[in-house]
Structure 1
Amino acid sequence: MVAPGCALRPAGKKKMDYRMLALVAVVAAMTATMGASASVPCMYVFGDSLVDNGNNNNMLSLARANYRPYGIDFREGPPGRFTNGRTMVDFLSDMLGLRPPLLPPYATAAPADLPRGVNFASGASGIRPETGNNLGGHYPLSEQVDHFRSAVRDMSSTPRFRGNATRLAAYLGRCIFFVGMGSNDYLNNYFMTDYYTTAQQYDPQAYASLLLADYAAQLAELYALGARKFVVAGVGNIGCIPYELARMDDDDQPSDPSTPSDDGDNGIVISIGGGGGGDSNSNQKPTTQQQGCNDTINSAIGIYNKGLQSMVRRLNNGSAQQKMRGARLVFLDTVHTGKDLAAHGFTVLDRGCCGVGRNNGQITCLPLQRPCDDRDQYVFWDAFHPTEAANRIYAAKAFNSTSTADAYPINVSQLAAI
């Protein structure tokens, strides 16, 4: 099925000026770090489809994005990103002076790539090992950490680090470790009640505590392998993504809370429950105002994010009970950062650039489907994932925001300089 173009006219001089300011901020951040790469020799990425760059390409899985129009604006390597162009961590690697080239996926990385950095992220993955199993193959966080363990072992056998574990540990201690997990633990676990039983076993507070305990254990594993500088991304308001908006009825209530979400991370959704069918050639008018979101989901996410920031605070304090002395962690509040995207010139906040049905969110971007033309006006690329333009803003805020509401307690550039 081929969707018609979704091009919008320019939003006006004021909004375009905001967009120009955002671009200037990104360029300034990149320029400021051109000579600082020696302090950050590498970056390692762990997460889900928001930052996956191809690790799932050859898996038997619905959570893949190795087909057009995914990557339609990405011409720097093979397909596999769940967006039209670069991801947030692609932009961060620019700002840290780690390219060219971009960090490779672990699935295709050569031994020579390992010391500069590798992306271990996997679409559909979560903190919980069972999360995302409804979509087929993927690597949960624990397996991503195991892959890093293998990478460390491989690096320790190279001439540069052979026989000198102290040198390798000191090297890794200067690197950035980006970890962004949790979205699928809600979309493809807790709120998929026909497939998983976690919602019957735990209330939102207990489930968040369970996730955070598992999360802390995996961060401790990375710490034991040499990680010291962590960037930990919170979960966005996934109750407001096009997929969830498409499931709301006319009274802004979930059309069927028990209907399973086919994906928070996949490239192809076979069927979506609730809200009825339809194609993207509808008369729905994109707006700058988001319709009512799923407050039940956002409330649970709020509990998790608050706990995650508290965990970061405790680990940074390095109390006698903690085993991660000397680690420095930055918490990225993606909910707060996403609140002012309209001020950066985006005119479509509630609809995917590529997809089918209500909000282009009932069925996500199909192979060879025509996406909207004016992609830099859209926050969402498909039913679940941001556009390259939105990823650019998220990265710029993470890297150089002076507000602790975006990056706590310091930003990524300050972490890199430590």
Structure 2
Amino acid sequence: MEALGWYVVVLLTINRFREASTTTTTTTTTTSSVAVEAMFVFGDSLSDPGNNNALLTIAKGNFLPQGIDFPGGVTGRFCNGLIGPDHLGNMLGLGLIPAFQNPNTKGSNILKGVNYASSAAGILNDSLAILGERWTFDQQIEQFATKTLPDLRSQALRSKHGNKELTLDVFLANSLFYSNIGSNDFIDYAVATYKYPDASAYIDLTMIQHRRQLKDLYQLGGRKFLVFGLAPLGCLPIAILLFNKHAPTDCSDKLNQIILRWNAKFVELIQQLNHELHGAYFLYFDVYSEFLRVTNDPSRYGFKQVRNACCGAGLLNSEYMCLTPTAPVCANRSEYVFWDSFHATEAMYRILARQAFDGTLQATFPRNVQQFFQPM
């Protein structure tokens, strides 16, 4: 029944989805005291700044009301405003990281980093292939290796902190590699359980692939990594609608239990990589716990709606999803955790980014992104 529900979502998405590209002047507090050179972003629609706009895909959001709170208008991000990498880039003093597929993302424009994230991308190359073209995580890594690195090598690299000359290796070692991916693999798992009938085997399959991908980024020069666990997907408005319609104030525990199992395996993997890869540090962000911390005490963070989507209509504003320019939109967007049936609002992304930047992510050093790059 759950697999059928997800399949319905994908079919609805195929008939009505859209997406785009992005720039904005929306502000987040900027921090300039951290010695970071650049940020390279890998992921899916949670991080996509518009890389899918020119692709033959329904996984793109280049239409209103997406980007309704961007002064520049529609961008391609699945959000009313800034998404996670935007907030974190501002906090690091880098500003918005340019989309890889933007024709202007070359030369000196890549010196603060590049965002390769692509909506519908997964750890596995065939995840959500039904939606059309997208840049898989492997393809994003290939873009970094074959296009960005040669471009960086052709330039005279100078530190943003002291203006001294840098080798490419030092430049990359002082950059943040941001990876937030995996949600689409488990959407695909729920849709096509006939392909992967055993959850444990599927978790292991994604973990083997992800280990290789993160090691590839290390081999290409990455040393400081911020890697995200999976959020409680069972708390998405669409998941509650499909799996818990009889109790719409509750998350789908069955789906969340699978996510918890994946996160536990991922923590083990991160610990192994930190032990095995000389000079590298992988900082794990437990988004699952952070999400529940906010939604279990919403008034503390200014939220009034933790189950309903802001954009859409019907039960949880998710029976008629935010997939057309005429979709109804709430007026008080800062009071909602969810922008649409799948994605967070700018307000929620800001909270998560702030936690990643200067919160306590884990007990061992470093505890947050800021501590990665503070001058010694």
Q: TM-score scaled by structure 2?
A: 0.84
- 1:232 Cα deviation (Å)? 0.2
Over the matched positions of the two proteins, sequence identity in percent amounts to 35
Check whether the contact 1:363–1:383 (CA below 8 A) recurs between aligned residues: no
Computed over aligned residues only, the root mean square deviation of the Cα atoms, in angstroms, reads 2.0
Q: From the superposition, tell whether residues 220 and 249 of structure 1 become closer, same or farther in structure 2 (CA, over 3 Å).
A: closer
Structure-1 residue corresponding to 2:149: 152
Structure-2 residue corresponding to 1:400: 358
Deviation track 1:328-383 (CA, whole Å, cap 9, x = no partner) reads 11111111111122131211011110013321123321223231000000000000
- 1:245 Cα deviation (Å)? 1.1
Check whether the contact 1:328–1:415 (CA below 8 A) recurs between aligned residues: no
Structure-2 residue corresponding to 1:259: none
Match of 1:325 among 251, 267, 278: 278
1:246 aligns to 2:233 (yes or no):
no
Check whether the contact 2:44–2:117 (CA below 8 A) recurs between aligned residues: yes
Structure-2 residue corresponding to 1:359: 316
- 1:151 Cα deviation (Å)? 0.6
1:389 aligns to 2:342 (yes or no):
no
1:220 aligns to 2:215 (yes or no):
yes
Residue type of the partner of 2:196?
Answer: A
* Larger RCO (CA within 8 A; separation ≥ 6): 1
For residues 272 and 244 of structure 2, the distance between their equivalents in structure 1, rounded to whole angstroms, comes to 41
1:89 aligns to 2:42 (yes or no):
no
Deviation track 1:293-325 (CA, whole Å, cap 9, x = no partner) reads 222211111011111111111222x2xxx3x21
Match of 1:66 among 62, 70, 84: 62
For residues 46 and 150 of structure 2, the distance between their equivalents in structure 1, rounded to whole angstroms, comes to 27
Deviation track 1:221-276 (CA, whole Å, cap 9, x = no partner) reads 11111110000011100111011111135544xxxxxxxxxxxxxxxxxxxxxxxx
SS in 1 for 2:196: helix
SS in 1 for 2:308: strand
SS in 2 for 1:219: helix
For residues 249 and 215 of structure 1, the distance between their equivalents in structure 2, rounded to whole angstroms, comes to 31
SS in 2 for 1:330: strand
Match of 2:287 among 334, 337, 340: 334
Q: From the superposition, tell whether residues 138 and 88 of structure 1 become closer, same or farther in structure 2 (CA, over 3 Å).
A: same
SS in 2 for 1:337: helix
Q: TM-score scaled by structure 1?
A: 0.76
Check whether the contact 2:36–2:373 (CA below 8 A) recurs between aligned residues: yes
Match of 1:123 among 112, 119, 123: 119
- 1:119 Cα deviation (Å)? 0.4
Structure-2 residue corresponding to 1:283: none
For residues 403 and 229 of structure 1, the distance between their equivalents in structure 2, rounded to whole angstroms, comes to 15
Structure-2 residue corresponding to 1:184: 184
For residues 378 and 77 of structure 1, the distance between their equivalents in structure 2, rounded to whole angstroms, comes to 20
Deviation track 1:24-75 (CA, whole Å, cap 9, x = no partner) reads xx74xx3xx3233xx2010000000001000011111111011111000012
Residue type of the partner of 1:199?
Answer: Y
Q: From the superposition, tell whether residues 111 and 40 of structure 1 become closer, same or farther in structure 2 (CA, over 3 Å).
A: same
Structure-2 residue corresponding to 1:295: 253
Which is higher, the Rg of structure 1 or of structure 2? Answer: 1
For residues 215 and 72 of structure 2, the distance between their equivalents in structure 1, rounded to whole angstroms, comes to 34
1:107 aligns to 2:116 (yes or no):
no
Structure-2 residue corresponding to 1:209: 204
For residues 300 and 171 of structure 1, the distance between their equivalents in structure 2, rounded to whole angstroms, comes to 38
Residue type of the partner of 2:33?
Answer: G
Deviation track 1:8-27 (CA, whole Å, cap 9, x = no partner) reads xxxxxxxxxxxxxxxxxx74
Q: From the superposition, tell whether residues 76 and 228 of structure 1 become closer, same or farther in structure 2 (CA, over 3 Å).
A: farther
* Stretches of structure 1 lacking an aligned partner (at least 5 in a row): 1-25, 253-289
Match of 1:235 among 225, 230, 235: 230
Check whether the contact 1:178–1:231 (CA below 8 A) recurs between aligned residues: yes
- 1:78 Cα deviation (Å)? 5.7
Structure-2 residue corresponding to 1:348: 305
Check whether the contact 1:132–1:138 (CA below 8 A) recurs between aligned residues: no
Check whether the contact 1:86–1:391 (CA below 8 A) recurs between aligned residues: yes
Residue type of the partner of 1:191?
Answer: A
For residues 415 and 372 of structure 1, the distance between their equivalents in structure 2, rounded to whole angstroms, comes to 38
Check whether the contact 2:121–2:136 (CA below 8 A) recurs between aligned residues: yes
Q: From the superposition, tell whether residues 416 and 334 of structure 1 become closer, same or farther in structure 2 (CA, over 3 Å).
A: same
SS in 1 for 2:191: coil
Q: From the superposition, tell whether residues 250 and 391 of structure 1 become closer, same or farther in structure 2 (CA, over 3 Å).
A: closer
For residues 60 and 214 of structure 2, the distance between their equivalents in structure 1, rounded to whole angstroms, comes to 26
